[in-house]
Amino acid sequence: MTIPPQNLSDPLVRSLALAINAGDREGFLSLLTDDATLSDDGSDRDLQQWIDKEIFTSGGHIDVQSESDGGRSLIADFRNDTWGQMRTAWRFDMADGRISRIETGQA
């Protein structure tokens, strides 16, 4: 059963999921620390390039299936125009009231 993004427990993760689904790149970036990092399937990536390629220029959309760790870990169906739909895991680290690290990959 899908959890609507507005019902996610962690307010930052909730806002990030809403920004992804709205195609709101600026809103997404406003939730991150200035030095935020990202890894995909265990490999560090350039965050700006990755979000543009995987989310904002390819119609990225996240449908959360479950959450844990107070809403900072998700299992979600993620889809975009490049790869189609896949089951993914997302984990978020926080610092100073913003997201400092995103770890994602196939679940």
Instruction: Tell me the per-residue pLDDT of 6-28, one tens digit each, with 9 for 90 and over.
Output: 999 999 999 999 999 999 999 99
Residue type, 74: L
Single out the residue of 64, 58, 47, 56 nearest to residue 23, CA to CA. Answer: 56
Q: Would you place residue 1 in the very low, low, confident or very high pLDDT band (cuts 50, 70, 90)?
A: confident
Instruction: Taking residues 62-81, report their average pLDDT.
Output: 98
Rg of the chain taking only CA atoms, in angstroms: 12
Mean pLDDT, the chain, rounded, equals: 97
Best CA proximity match to 39, nearest among 93, 79, 2:
93
CA 65 – CA 48 distance, rounded (Å): 26
Task: Quote the pTM value.
Answer: 0.96
Tokens describing residue 99 = 């997201």
d(CA 3, CA 41): 23
Mean pLDDT computed over 62-78: 98
Question: Considering the chain, what percentage of its residues have pLDDT values greater than 70?
Answer: 100
pLDDT the model gives residue 71 = 96
What is the three-state SS of 21-37?
A: HHCCHHHHHHCEEEEEE
- The CATH label, of 3.30.450.70, 3.40.50.300, 3.10.450.50, 2.30.30.230, for the domain at 5-106 is 3.10.450.50
How confident is the model at residue 19, as a pLDDT? 98
